Structure 1
Amino acid sequence: MVEVYAEPLCRRHYSSLLSWAVVVRLLLLIIAIACALVIAYATGGFWVQIKPTMDQATVQYTQDALLLIEGGSPGMEQIWSTNSLINAQFSEEFIPASVQTSVEDTNYDGKPDVINFVARVQSSTPVYGVKVLLQFQYGFFNLVRVQMYSLAYFSASTGTPGGVLYVDGDLNLVQRSPINDMSYNGVYNYPILNSQPPNTLQSVQAPSQLLFEDIIADYKTRNYTTTYSNVYPVWKAGSGNTFELKMVVRIPPNQMIWYRPQTIEMLKNAWIQFLATFIVLWWLYSYVEQFIFFFRLVSTRVASDLHPKMQRF
C-alpha cells in the first residue's frame, strides 16, 4: 500500500470571549510582537535612515579655470584666468596661456569618463610651483538628484625649475550630510569662478595678491563638494621658461553616495526585519500554547476530529 493523501486531525479548543483562555492567547501574541520589535531593533538594520548607493556623476567642464604660476621667490607670481575681470585686476601679473580641453567617453554611455586639461604658458621667470582651479558642473539624476558647480584644485612645487607637470586624479564627491532621496537639490547650482557674487574677486587682497585659501575655505563650507583626489603627479624639469600643465580628471564610474531614503522605503525595510523575527518567535510560542491547552491549564471546550458529529438528514 502507498500513502496517496493525508488529512490532519485536530483538537479544537473553544472558550467564551471573556475568559482566561482568550487572555492567554492575546498575551502570547502581544509578547511575540513586542519581542520581535525589540530583537529587530536591537540587532540593527531595523530603521535605516542613511543608505549608500552607487552612480556615475554627469560632469561637464564649464571652461572656467584659474592658474597661478610661482617663481623662485615671493612676488614673482603670474596669474591666468578665464575671468576677464580677474585678468584686468592683475594686469601686471597676467600671463597669456594656450589652453586645450577634451572629453573622453570610454564606455559610450553618454557620460564623460575623462576630462583632459592642457595649459601652456611662456613664463618670464623659471617655474617652481603651480596652483590650478578648474570648475565643473556636477550632478546625479537617478535615485539621487543633485546638481551643482564644483571645483578641482591641485597644487605642486619643486626645488628645481619645471618644464612639464603631468597630474592624473579622480574627481570624487565629498558629503557632510546625506542627500534626500528622489528630491532635487540645486542649492549649490551657481558658478564659483565668475564675476558675480559669490565670486573669486572677494579673495583679492591688495592689488596683486589672490588668496587661494579664501576660495577653498568658502568652498569647503558647503555640504556637498568635490575633491581632486587619488592624484599621481609627475614633475619634469625644464631648462627654459616654457611651462606646460597636463591635468587629467577622471570621473569614477561607481561613485559612493550616501542618501536619506523616503519614509515608505524605511517602513518597507523595517517590516521585513520585523516579519522575519516574528515568524520565528511565533513558531516558538506555538509550543507554549500547545503545552497550556494540551494540559488544560485554562478551561476550554474541546472538539476532536476523532469523534465527528452525527450527520443529520
Structure 2
Amino acid sequence: MALYQLFSHPAERGYRAGLCSKAALFLLLATALTYIPPLLVAFRTHGFWLKRSSYEEQPSVRFQHQVLLVALLGPEPGAFLSWSTFPTFNRLQGVHLRIPLVSTREEDRNQDGKMDVLHFKLELPLQATEHVFGVQLMLTFSYQLHRMSTFVMQSMAFLQSSFAVPGSQLYVNGDLRLQQKQPLSYRGLDIRYNVSVINGTSPFAHDYDLTRIVAAYQERNVTTVLSDPNPIWLVGRAAEAPFIIDAVIRQASGK
C-alpha cells in the first residue's frame, strides 16, 4: 500500500558562541580567506585580462663624467678641434687636441635621492683666427630602473649642431628619454647593456669614430636619446674668448 506525506515541519537549530571562541575565530578566518587572497592576486597580477599596459617610473640617472667633443672650425677637411676624458683618444688627436675647462653639477630638486637635472658647461679656448661652425658632443650616463624591471645600463646623450655662421656659445636644454624596441624583462637583473658606450681603453683610432659608436649604440634594444634639445646658437665671439657649450639635461621618466 502506498504511503502519502500528510504533514511536514522543518526543524531549525541555532548555535551560539562568544566572540573569542574557536568557532568565531574560524568564521572570521574563513571570511578573510574568501575575499582577501583573490584581491591580492588581482593586485599583484595587475589585472587578469590585460593585453597591453604601461607605467611611468623616474629612473636613477647619474652622469659618468665621460665626454667626447669634436668642434668643427670650418668646411675644410681636417679643420677641427677635439678632446675627451679618454687619454688614449687624446694622444691620437695630435695637433687637433685642445683642452677645455669643464664644470658639471647635478641637482636633486625634489629630494628623493634621484638626480633630476644635469648642468654641463664646457669652455673651449680658441685663438683669434679660429671660429667654431659646428659641435659634436657625447656624454655618458648610468641608467637604472627598479620598480617593475630591474634594469641597469650605460647610455649616452649625443648632441650635434652645425650652422652657417661662427658662434660664440651653444645653449641646449632637453630631456634624456628612454627608447625601447622590445619590452623589458620583469624577472631578474637585466645588465645586457651595462657596458661602456665608448671603449676608452682601446688603442685603435677606429674605436673612437663617432659613426661606429653611434651605429653600435643604435643596435641596442634599449637606448636613451636627448629629446627636444632646442639648441640656441649665439654669435659674436670676442677675440681670444672661449667657445662655450652650456647644456641642461633633464632626467625624464621611463615608460
TM-score bracket, shorter-length normalisation: 0.7 to 0.9
Aligned match of 1:89: 92
Q: How many residues were matched structurally?
A: 204
User: Where do residues 1-313 of structure 1 align in structure 2 (5 Å cutoff)?
Assistant: 48=50, 50-74=52-76, 75-124=78-127, 125-196=130-201, 201-204=205-208, 211-239=209-237, 240=239, 242-252=242-252, 254-256=253-255
Q: Distance in 1 between matches of 2:84 and 2:108?
A: 27
Q: Distance in 2 between matches of 1:69 and 1:96?
A: 12
Aligned match of 1:17: none
Deviations 1:49-100 (A, max 9, x none): 6531110010011110100000122311110100000000112210111000
Cα RMSD for the two superposed structures: 1.9
Question: How many Å apart are 1:155 and its aligned residue?
Answer: 0.7
Deviations 1:267-294 (A, max 9, x none): xxxxxxxxxxxxxxxxxxxxxxxxxxxx
Question: How many Å apart are 1:143 and its aligned residue?
Answer: 1.5
| Greater RCO structure (CA 8 Å; 6+ sep) | 1
Q: Distance in 2 between matches of 1:152 and 1:247?
A: 11
Deviations 1:238-284 (A, max 9, x none): 333520001111012x321xxxxxxxxxxxxxxxxxxxxxxxxxxxx
Q: What letter is aligned with 2:69?
A: L
Question: How many Å apart are 1:196 and its aligned residue?
Answer: 3.7
Greater mean alpha carbon deviation, residues 120-129 or residues 80-89: 120-129
Q: Distance in 2 between matches of 1:51 and 1:144?
A: 14
How many percent identity over aligned positions? 30
Question: How many Å apart are 1:48 and its aligned residue?
Answer: 4.0
Q: Distance in 2 between matches of 1:78 and 1:47?
A: 57
TM-score (normalised: structure 2)? 0.75
Q: What letter is aligned with 2:224?
A: T
Q: What letter is aligned with 2:249?
A: V
Question: How many Å apart are 1:201 and its aligned residue?
Answer: 4.2
Aligned match of 1:302: none
Greater mean alpha carbon deviation, residues 58-67 or residues 236-245: 236-245
Deviations 1:101-124 (A, max 9, x none): 000111110100001111001124
CA contact (8 A) 2:136 2:158 kept: yes
Find runs of 4+ consecutive structure 1 residues off by over 2 angstroms.
45-51, 193-197, 199-204, 238-241
The structure where helix makes up a greater share of residues is: 1
- 48 and 183 in structure 1: CA distance in 2 versus 1, 3 angstrom threshold: farther
TM-score (normalised: structure 1)? 0.62
Aligned match of 2:23: none
| Higher CA-based Rg | 1
Q: What letter is aligned with 1:249?
A: I
CA contact (8 A) 1:101 1:117 kept: yes
Question: How many Å apart are 1:46 and its aligned residue?
Answer: 6.9
Aligned match of 1:283: none
Q: Distance in 2 between matches of 1:201 and 1:145?
A: 35
Question: How many Å apart are 1:146 and its aligned residue?
Answer: 0.3
